[in-house]
Chain A
Amino acid sequence: QVTLGESGPALVKPTQTLTLTCTFSGFSLTTSGMSVSWFRQPPGKALEWLARIDWDDDKYYTTSLRTRLTISKDTSNNQVVLSMTNMDPVDTATYYCARMQRGTSGSYFNFDYWGQGTLVTVSS
Protein backbone atom coordinates (compact mmCIF):
# COMPACT_ATOMS: atom_id res chain seq x y z
CA GLN A 1 0.00 0.00 0.00
CA VAL A 2 1.46 3.29 -1.12
CA THR A 3 1.06 6.27 1.17
CA LEU A 4 2.59 9.74 1.33
CA GLY A 5 2.29 12.35 4.03
CA GLU A 6 3.48 15.93 4.30
CA SER A 7 4.75 17.52 7.49
CA GLY A 8 6.13 20.88 8.44
CA PRO A 9 5.26 24.14 10.15
CA ALA A 10 1.75 25.46 9.78
CA LEU A 11 2.93 29.06 10.21
CA VAL A 12 6.09 30.77 9.02
CA LYS A 13 7.09 34.40 9.11
CA PRO A 14 7.97 36.45 6.04
CA THR A 15 11.61 36.06 4.94
CA GLN A 16 11.95 32.75 6.80
CA THR A 17 12.84 29.46 5.11
CA LEU A 18 10.13 26.80 4.89
CA THR A 19 11.17 23.18 5.20
CA LEU A 20 8.63 20.48 4.38
CA THR A 21 9.06 16.73 4.61
CA CYS A 22 7.26 14.12 2.56
CA THR A 23 7.37 10.73 4.28
CA PHE A 24 6.29 7.83 2.15
CA SER A 25 5.81 4.08 2.32
CA GLY A 26 5.00 1.26 -0.05
CA PHE A 27 7.71 2.09 -2.57
CA SER A 28 11.39 2.93 -2.75
CA LEU A 29 12.97 6.00 -4.27
CA THR A 30 15.89 3.80 -5.30
CA THR A 31 13.69 2.00 -7.83
CA SER A 32 14.33 2.98 -11.44
CA GLY A 33 11.59 5.22 -12.79
CA MET A 34 10.38 6.41 -9.41
CA SER A 35 10.10 10.09 -8.50
CA VAL A 36 8.50 12.36 -5.93
CA SER A 37 7.14 15.79 -6.79
CA TRP A 38 5.96 18.72 -4.69
CA PHE A 39 2.98 20.89 -5.55
CA ARG A 40 1.11 23.74 -3.92
CA GLN A 41 -2.32 25.31 -4.09
CA PRO A 42 -3.08 28.76 -2.68
CA PRO A 43 -6.55 29.03 -1.15
CA GLY A 44 -9.16 29.11 -3.90
CA LYS A 45 -6.58 28.95 -6.67
CA ALA A 46 -5.12 26.42 -9.08
CA LEU A 47 -2.53 23.76 -8.44
CA GLU A 48 1.12 24.51 -9.18
CA TRP A 49 3.93 22.01 -9.71
CA LEU A 50 7.05 23.02 -7.77
CA ALA A 51 9.80 20.43 -7.96
CA ARG A 52 10.68 16.81 -8.60
CA ILE A 53 13.44 14.46 -7.54
CA ASP A 54 14.14 11.21 -9.34
CA TRP A 55 15.46 7.84 -8.21
CA ASP A 56 18.86 8.74 -9.73
CA ASP A 57 18.91 12.07 -7.83
CA ASP A 58 18.09 14.20 -10.87
CA LYS A 59 16.22 17.31 -9.75
CA TYR A 60 13.86 19.67 -11.57
CA TYR A 61 12.29 22.94 -10.48
CA THR A 62 9.58 25.25 -11.72
CA THR A 63 11.19 28.16 -13.52
CA SER A 64 9.55 30.92 -11.51
CA LEU A 65 10.77 29.60 -8.13
CA ARG A 66 14.01 27.92 -9.13
CA THR A 67 16.22 30.23 -7.09
CA ARG A 68 14.23 29.67 -3.89
CA LEU A 69 13.67 25.91 -3.97
CA THR A 70 15.81 22.96 -2.97
CA ILE A 71 14.64 19.36 -3.10
CA SER A 72 16.50 16.43 -1.59
CA LYS A 73 15.90 12.83 -0.61
CA ASP A 74 16.74 10.53 2.28
CA THR A 75 16.21 7.08 0.85
CA SER A 76 17.05 5.26 4.07
CA ASN A 77 14.17 7.03 5.83
CA ASN A 78 11.85 7.19 2.81
CA GLN A 79 11.65 10.97 2.89
CA VAL A 80 11.82 13.83 0.43
CA VAL A 81 12.49 17.32 1.75
CA LEU A 82 11.56 20.59 0.08
CA SER A 83 13.02 23.89 1.22
CA MET A 84 11.76 27.27 0.09
CA THR A 85 13.65 30.39 1.07
CA ASN A 86 12.48 33.94 1.62
CA MET A 87 8.85 33.09 2.27
CA ASP A 88 6.20 35.70 1.50
CA PRO A 89 2.47 35.89 2.27
CA VAL A 90 1.76 35.00 -1.37
CA ASP A 91 3.36 31.61 -0.64
CA THR A 92 0.47 30.77 1.68
CA ALA A 93 -0.88 27.52 0.29
CA THR A 94 -1.57 23.86 0.83
CA TYR A 95 1.55 21.94 -0.11
CA TYR A 96 1.27 18.40 -1.50
CA CYS A 97 3.72 15.69 -2.40
CA ALA A 98 2.99 12.90 -4.87
CA ARG A 99 4.66 9.88 -6.34
CA MET A 100 5.38 9.81 -10.04
CA GLN A 101 6.25 6.68 -11.98
CA ARG A 102 8.04 6.91 -15.30
CA GLY A 103 7.64 4.13 -17.81
CA THR A 104 10.63 2.59 -19.53
CA SER A 105 12.06 4.91 -22.19
CA GLY A 106 9.64 7.58 -21.00
CA SER A 107 6.62 5.69 -22.28
CA TYR A 108 4.45 7.27 -19.61
CA PHE A 109 4.48 9.59 -16.62
CA ASN A 110 2.00 8.71 -13.93
CA PHE A 111 1.28 10.77 -10.83
CA ASP A 112 -0.63 8.11 -8.96
CA TYR A 113 -0.49 8.63 -5.21
CA TRP A 114 -0.78 11.93 -3.34
CA GLY A 115 -0.50 13.03 0.23
CA GLN A 116 -3.37 14.84 1.92
CA GLY A 117 -1.49 18.11 1.92
CA THR A 118 -0.36 20.52 4.61
CA LEU A 119 -1.50 24.13 4.88
CA VAL A 120 1.29 26.63 5.33
CA THR A 121 0.41 30.20 6.25
CA VAL A 122 2.95 32.98 5.88
CA SER A 123 2.27 35.81 8.26
CA SER A 124 4.06 37.98 10.74
Chain B
Amino acid sequence: QAVVTQEPSLTVSPGGTVTLTCAASTGAVTSGHYPNWFQQKPGQAPRPLIYSTNNKHSWTPARFSGSLLGGKAALTLSGVQPEDEAEYYCLLYYGGYWVFGGGTKLTVL
Protein backbone atom coordinates (compact mmCIF):
# COMPACT_ATOMS: atom_id res chain seq x y z
CA GLN B 1 0.00 0.00 0.00
CA ALA B 2 1.18 3.50 -0.79
CA VAL B 3 2.67 5.73 1.89
CA VAL B 4 1.73 9.41 1.94
CA THR B 5 4.11 11.84 3.63
CA GLN B 6 3.49 15.29 5.07
CA GLU B 7 5.70 17.65 7.05
CA PRO B 8 5.26 16.65 10.69
CA SER B 9 5.17 20.24 11.85
CA LEU B 10 5.37 23.79 10.57
CA THR B 11 5.35 27.17 12.28
CA VAL B 12 4.06 30.40 10.75
CA SER B 13 3.56 33.92 12.02
CA PRO B 14 0.12 35.51 12.00
CA GLY B 15 -0.49 37.16 8.65
CA GLY B 16 2.15 35.05 6.99
CA THR B 17 1.96 32.48 4.24
CA VAL B 18 2.73 28.79 4.57
CA THR B 19 2.56 25.82 2.21
CA LEU B 20 1.94 22.29 3.41
CA THR B 21 2.81 19.45 1.06
CA CYS B 22 1.70 15.89 0.50
CA ALA B 23 4.01 13.40 -1.21
CA ALA B 24 3.33 9.88 -2.43
CA SER B 25 5.73 6.95 -2.23
CA THR B 26 4.44 5.80 -5.61
CA GLY B 27 5.73 8.86 -7.45
CA ALA B 28 4.37 12.25 -8.38
CA VAL B 29 0.97 13.24 -7.03
CA THR B 30 -1.36 14.08 -9.90
CA SER B 31 -4.92 15.25 -10.28
CA GLY B 32 -5.81 11.58 -10.63
CA HIS B 33 -5.08 11.18 -6.92
CA TYR B 34 -7.91 13.65 -6.27
CA PRO B 35 -6.13 15.24 -3.28
CA ASN B 36 -8.39 16.17 -0.42
CA TRP B 37 -7.30 18.34 2.51
CA PHE B 38 -8.78 18.41 6.00
CA GLN B 39 -8.28 20.54 9.08
CA GLN B 40 -8.64 18.98 12.50
CA LYS B 41 -8.60 20.69 15.88
CA PRO B 42 -8.29 18.80 19.16
CA GLY B 43 -11.42 16.89 20.08
CA GLN B 44 -13.13 17.68 16.80
CA ALA B 45 -13.97 15.75 13.66
CA PRO B 46 -11.98 16.53 10.51
CA ARG B 47 -13.24 19.56 8.64
CA PRO B 48 -13.01 19.31 4.86
CA LEU B 49 -11.15 22.22 3.23
CA ILE B 50 -10.20 21.24 -0.32
CA TYR B 51 -11.29 18.44 -2.64
CA SER B 52 -9.89 17.15 -5.91
CA THR B 53 -6.72 19.25 -5.79
CA ASN B 54 -8.07 22.79 -5.70
CA ASN B 55 -11.82 22.88 -5.16
CA LYS B 56 -13.07 24.69 -2.08
CA HIS B 57 -16.14 23.92 -0.04
CA SER B 58 -18.64 26.69 0.57
CA TRP B 59 -17.26 27.06 4.09
CA THR B 60 -13.57 27.11 3.18
CA PRO B 61 -12.01 30.51 3.90
CA ALA B 62 -10.57 32.26 0.85
CA ARG B 63 -7.07 32.21 2.39
CA PHE B 64 -6.86 28.44 1.83
CA SER B 65 -5.93 27.14 -1.61
CA GLY B 66 -4.92 23.79 -3.05
CA SER B 67 -2.58 22.97 -5.91
CA LEU B 68 -0.03 20.56 -7.32
CA LEU B 69 3.52 21.69 -6.72
CA GLY B 70 6.71 19.91 -7.71
CA GLY B 71 5.10 16.48 -7.85
CA LYS B 72 3.24 16.92 -4.58
CA ALA B 73 -0.18 18.11 -3.53
CA ALA B 74 0.00 21.41 -1.70
CA LEU B 75 -2.18 23.41 0.65
CA THR B 76 -1.30 27.09 0.92
CA LEU B 77 -2.55 29.39 3.63
CA SER B 78 -2.16 33.09 2.84
CA GLY B 79 -2.69 35.60 5.61
CA VAL B 80 -2.67 33.02 8.38
CA GLN B 81 -5.00 33.62 11.30
CA PRO B 82 -4.53 32.37 14.88
CA GLU B 83 -7.54 30.09 14.45
CA ASP B 84 -5.70 28.25 11.67
CA GLU B 85 -3.55 26.50 14.27
CA ALA B 86 -4.53 22.87 13.81
CA GLU B 87 -3.53 19.52 12.35
CA TYR B 88 -3.88 19.25 8.58
CA TYR B 89 -4.29 15.98 6.71
CA CYS B 90 -4.12 15.19 3.03
CA LEU B 91 -5.91 12.23 1.50
CA LEU B 92 -5.01 10.61 -1.82
CA TYR B 93 -6.97 8.23 -4.06
CA TYR B 94 -5.47 4.98 -5.31
CA GLY B 95 -8.07 3.51 -7.61
CA GLY B 96 -10.63 2.35 -5.11
CA TYR B 97 -8.86 2.94 -1.84
CA TRP B 98 -7.70 6.06 -0.07
CA VAL B 99 -4.55 6.82 1.92
CA PHE B 100 -4.03 9.61 4.45
CA GLY B 101 -0.84 11.41 5.11
CA GLY B 102 0.50 11.45 8.64
CA GLY B 103 -0.66 15.02 9.19
CA THR B 104 1.05 18.37 9.66
CA LYS B 105 0.80 20.17 12.96
CA LEU B 106 0.60 23.86 12.10
CA THR B 107 1.57 26.27 14.84
CA VAL B 108 0.72 29.97 14.53
CA LEU B 109 3.22 31.88 16.59
Residues of A at the B interface (CB closer than 8 Å) are 37, 39, 46-49, 52, 60-64, 96, 98, 103, 107-112, 114-117
Residues of A contacting B103 in the complex (Cβ-Cβ under 8 angstroms): 46-47
1/0 per residue, CB under 8 A from A, across B87-109: the answer is: 00101010011111111000000
Q: Provide a sorted-by-A list of 7 A–B residue pairs whose CB atoms are within 8 angstroms.
A: A47-B38, A47-B91, A62-B97, A63-B97, A110-B48, A111-B91, A114-B45
- The B interface, classified by DSSP as helix, strand, loop or mixed, is strand
Asked if A109 contacts B34 (CB within 8 A), the reply is yes
**Interface-facing stretch out of B16-24, B51-59, B61-69, B78-86:** B51-59
Q: Which of A47, A63, A64, A114 contacts B100 (CB 8 A)?
A: A47
Would you call B15 an interface residue if the criterion is a C-beta within 8 Å of the partner chain's C-beta atoms?
Answer: no
Asked if A49 contacts B91 (CB within 8 A), the reply is yes
- Residue with the greatest number of chain A CB neighbours at <10 A, chosen from B98, B100, B101: B98
Task: State how many angstroms separate the Cβ of A53 from the closest Cβ of chain B.
Answer: 12
In the complex, how many residues of chain B place their beta carbon closer than 8 angstroms to a beta carbon of chain A? Answer: 24
Residues of A contacting B25 in the complex (Cβ-Cβ under 8 angstroms): none
Bound together, the chains give a CA A108 to CA B52 distance in angstroms of: 5
Residues of A contacting B57 in the complex (Cβ-Cβ under 8 angstroms): 112
Residues of B contacting A52 in the complex (Cβ-Cβ under 8 angstroms): 97-98
